[in-house]
Structure 1
Amino acid sequence: MTTGKLEKKLRFLIIYVIAITAVCGFLAFTSFRRATLRQTTDELTVKRINIVDEDGALRMVVSNEHRQHPGRMNGQQLPARERPAGIIFFNEAGDECGGLVYNGNDKDAGLFLSVDKFGDDQVMQLQYSENPQKQRRKYGLQLWDYPKENTFDERLRRFKALKQLPTREEQDKAYEQMLKDSLLMQDRLFIGQTYEKEMGLFIKDQDGKPRIKIFIDKDKQPRIQVLNPDGTIMR
């Protein structure tokens, strides 16, 4: 066999060994990576976790307060804002649809599990809120309603404009106009304990005015009240 043929075979063997080594290395790496990703972990410390679906769309965020997601609605991410630590849920449309958030210090403490209306803000909430210094607390089930459909974008635009107004008087006037234009949610029902230490059922009409109260007051007296829209007791 000539020297040239030996050199060709030697080069072929070298290339073959390199190729086989590379393939084996790649298979070993991917197998190790898959095993690592699937392994059971006893403890995990992170600042934020994003849960996505098979297409990579965001479905849930678990985060501390500094990295919390600002929320999304109608395909648009909302402006950066302060939000408590907790869990934010996102529906198949990509919009925020509820969450569980909490906070707690010697001035303000609370935990809120919220359910959002599709394409809008919250309509139901299991809530606990407290001022530890004043020993004032409220907890129970809260329901809201929206007088008009599909008002989220207009409401957000109005709130942005309101914040730019120079005086508190102008801001209050703009807020009142939003109420008149039916852009704000109305308190409709609460079951639980109020800040006034009344425990019971409290129902309001479409304008947010109290109409039925069934409760035990702070003096341990049972009360049933049916009210007129102006707040006077009918019976």
Structure 2
Amino acid sequence: MTPSNNKQVRSLTFVSTIQSVLLASVIGYSIYDFQKSSYGEIDVERINIVGENGVNRVVLATPERAPNPVIDGKEVERSIKPAGLVFYDEDGNETGGLATASMKGTKADLMIFDYKNSEAIGFNKFENDKGDFSASFVILDRLDLDKDMFEHGSAGATRIAMSTKNKDAAFSLHDTKGKERIRFAVDKNDVATIQMLDANGKVTFSIPEMPK
């Protein structure tokens, strides 16, 4: 190799080194700038917020990109595909979320928090095309851990419920089988009642007293 060629090689090597340094600087600055950037508005279909282990902790998504539930590390099919926000524990199991969906003429907005294997607390609002509406707050027992949710459903027994449905308001306490046992109510005609029920749903005590 001639001295002239050696000089050209050294020159090209120097230029290449400078270009690599500049490229690395641009990439590094871009990453730093992205981490520090703020945006007035962005359009996305799904955002995954992950922990240090790469496991989802929060997911915000459209119905088309809604994630399936993960329970005990297993992914299962979701009965509906809502738009909303899903929360996960450190192992990636779903612990609750916020959802909005439309199903056969009914619009639903839900906020649910979960036990390990079933629903725990639910805030629900429903409206349909017929003009019906309801809003409720429900507290449930945990499904027994030895029970398969595919066989017994994703919720244990309802224990406390507070709701309004088409202007009938009620607060009720339920037994361990989910059967309503005490009901406090004010109906759409502003009639107030207190009732106690047996395990078969028969009213055993009422204020005011029920007609014979």
Q: Are 1:155 and 2:149 matched, yes or no?
A: yes
Count the aligned residue pairs.
205
State the match for 2:126 in structure 1: 129
CA positional deviation for 1:71: 1.1
Q: Are 1:189 and 2:160 matched, yes or no?
A: yes
State the match for 1:230 in structure 2: 200
Deviations 1:73-109 (Å, cap 9, x if unpaired)? 1101113653111111111121011010012488201
State the match for 1:167 in structure 2: none
CA distance in 2, matches of 1:6, 1:92: 63
CA distance in 2, matches of 1:32, 1:230: 67
CA positional deviation for 1:142: 0.9
Aligned residue among 38, 49, 52 for 1:51: 49
CA distance in 1, matches of 2:139, 2:30: 50
CA positional deviation for 1:207: 1.3
Aligned residue among 137, 142, 152 for 1:141: 137
Structure 2 spans left out of the alignment, 5+ residues: 206-212
Contact residue 191 and residue 201 of structure 1 kept, 8 A: yes
What SS does the corresponding residue of 1:44 show, helix, strand or coil? coil
What SS does the corresponding residue of 1:12 show, helix, strand or coil? helix
State the match for 1:99 in structure 2: 97
State the match for 1:109 in structure 2: 107
Q: Structure 1 216/22 Cα, relative in aligned 2: closer, same or farther at 3 Å?
A: same
Q: Structure 1 30/204 Cα, relative in aligned 2: closer, same or farther at 3 Å?
A: same
Q: Structure 1 129/36 Cα, relative in aligned 2: closer, same or farther at 3 Å?
A: same
Q: Structure 1 43/184 Cα, relative in aligned 2: closer, same or farther at 3 Å?
A: closer
**AA paired with 1:217?**
D
Aligned residue among 22, 36, 39 for 2:37: 39
Aligned residue among 44, 63, 66 for 1:65: 63
Structure 1 or 2: more strand by fraction: 2
Structure 1 spans left out of the alignment, 5+ residues: 159-177
**AA paired with 1:71?**
P
Q: CA RMSD in A?
A: 2.4
What SS does the corresponding residue of 1:66 show, helix, strand or coil? helix
Structure 1 or 2: more helix by fraction: 1
Contact residue 103 and residue 109 of structure 1 kept, 8 A: yes
Contact residue 113 and residue 126 of structure 1 kept, 8 A: yes
CA distance in 2, matches of 1:7, 1:230: 99
Q: Are 1:202 and 2:178 matched, yes or no?
A: no
CA distance in 2, matches of 1:121, 1:148: 9
Superposed, 1:8-23 pairs within 5 Å as 8-23=6-21
